[in-house]
Amino acid sequence: MFDFIKPIKTIFIVQIFERFSYYGFRSCLILFLINKLKFDDSTAYAVFSAYVGLVYGLPILGSFLTDRIFGMKLMMKYGLLINLIGHFCVGFSIYSENFIFLALGFFAVGVSFYKSNITNLIGEYYKDNEAKRSAAFTFVHVGVNIGACLGPIICGYAYYFSGYYFAFMLAAIGNLISYILLLIFYNNFEGKGEIVNQDLNYKYLFFFISIILSFAIGFVIKHNYFNEDVIFYLATAALIFYFYLMYCYSNLKFLFAGLILIFFNILIGVIEYQYGSLITVVAERNVVNNILGFPVPAVVGLAINPLTVILFGLYFAKQSYSNLKQIFNFLIGILLSATSFFVVYFGCLMAVDNNVGYFYYAFPIFMLSIAELYFTPFFLSNITLLSPAKAKSFMISMLMLSNTFSSFIGLQFNKYMAVDSLNKAESLKIYTQGFQDFGYIFTGIAILITPLIFIFNYLKKRN
């Protein structure tokens, strides 16, 4: 491994199995809702969007408790444990679809507790070395993508040959392994992320409240209560709290730099969201899912993203990211992401018997993956740089909360290409027009916001 300290290597290993579990389950979810539970496109997209949105939105609550009471390590442990309960609920969904909503509630709470804190814990190291900090984030990101690659492949073939529930069982095993590894290496973090308030009664009370919250979240997802109105009020409250914390603990330049960074993340999140939901359904219906006669289920294709990051990520991790290079890389990344939709559109035009060639499904995901390597260090390094000392977890959670807004904006794009008929000719016609529109919209936006990156670069300077 690279010359990183033991805590970074520990995070790398734990992340592999946790991300295997998360992406193994998530990659199969949208098709499970449509094919197994017989939801229509719009309903399935809405459930998926609410789940993903809550995964990114709930850390705003967890971060407040992390910074003031529990510390990062305990929240990570609770998150993985709550996820295990969610996997247990998935098994019972064979008897009633209500259990899948309950499971999504547990996953939303568990992942939100874990994800923001694991990212922030990385930021605790190499504080005075921006190049090394960026390299550490990229290194751990490779570990994330090892798990994210194996999840769709193993769980994808499991559902293809043995059904969805066998795939979900394998995802549960991945979560269990990550939890055990965290317990084994719990003392490797060298005093970072410790409990702020040592009153043990708070820990058990909080875990009990988290269980109740998971039930409530499952109810909200089932009845579609997490809608546009809730998102508006959540965004308003988060912005008010953001302005308050930045006013108290930081300066005006950092405040606006943070807002620009969050805006960039929302835009990229909308693009990436299409490849986690819509593109899977398109591949299931209108893509030739085999290579030289060997079956490649639609879900397995999602492994192209993390596999690309694994193959090229180690190279990126070795790089020294100067300020100017970060800006240049970000511009390359956002343009690659936006223009990937044109490749899918061209593939739809070249379809034979209403089936799109696998290349036109795989290559856009490859483009997005290379883009991810360009702009991920930019986001993670700068959000930790801009974070006030007393609100670090909150700032990471604000970046994640922006993905909640991305998921709901992305939902509107999903619904634009919702298909009511299973007729391949009709679905292909809708997808062809939709991906052409997406290409023009996102490429245009990417070009128009380019000047903002230079404004951001000026605002983030300390002097």
Within-domain flag for 65: yes
Which pLDDT belongs to residue 129? 67
Asked if residue 208 has pLDDT above 80, the reply is yes
Say what the pLDDT of residue 456 is: 83
Candidates 5, 336, 14, 323; CA nearest to 147 is 14
Render pLDDT for 416-428 as a digit per residue (tens, 0 to 9). Answer: 898 877 788 899 9
User: Which amino acid appears at position 359 of this protein?
Assistant: F
| Domain total of the chain | 1
Confidence of residue 1 (pLDDT cuts 50, 70, 90): very low
Most confident of 191-200, 265-274, 308-317: 265-274
Best CA proximity match to 305, nearest among 1, 19, 61, 4: 19
Q: How confident is the model at residue 215 (pLDDT cuts 50, 70, 90)?
A: very high
Q: What is the pLDDT of residues 348-378, one digit of tens each?
A: 999 999 999 999 999 999 998 888 888 877 7
Q: Quick check: is 359 in a domain?
A: yes
- Report which of residues 126 and 221 the model is more confident about: 221
Reported as a single tens digit per residue, the pLDDT across 73-86 is: 778 888 899 999 99
pLDDT of residue 181 exceeding 80, the answer is yes
pLDDT for 60 beyond 50: yes
CATH number of the domain within which 318 lies: 1.20.1250.20
- Averaged pLDDT score across all residues of the chain: 83
Say which range, 236-240, 285-289, 322-326, 368-372, has the weakest mean pLDDT.
322-326
DSSP string, 41-89: HHHHHHHHHHHHHHHHHTHHHHHHHIIIIIHHHHHHHHHHHHHHHHHHH
Burial (Cβ within 10 Å: 0-12, 13-18, ≥19) of residue 333: buried
Cross-strand bridge partners of residue 295:
290
Domain presence at residue 238: yes
Check residue 199 and give its pLDDT. Answer: 57
Percent of the chain scoring above 70 in pLDDT: 87
Decide if 1 is inside a domain. no
For residue 121, what are the domain limits?
6-459
Predicted pLDDT of residue 104: 95
CA distance 405 to 57: 9
Q: For 19-47, write each residue's pLDDT tens digit.
A: 999 999 999 999 999 988 889 998 999 99
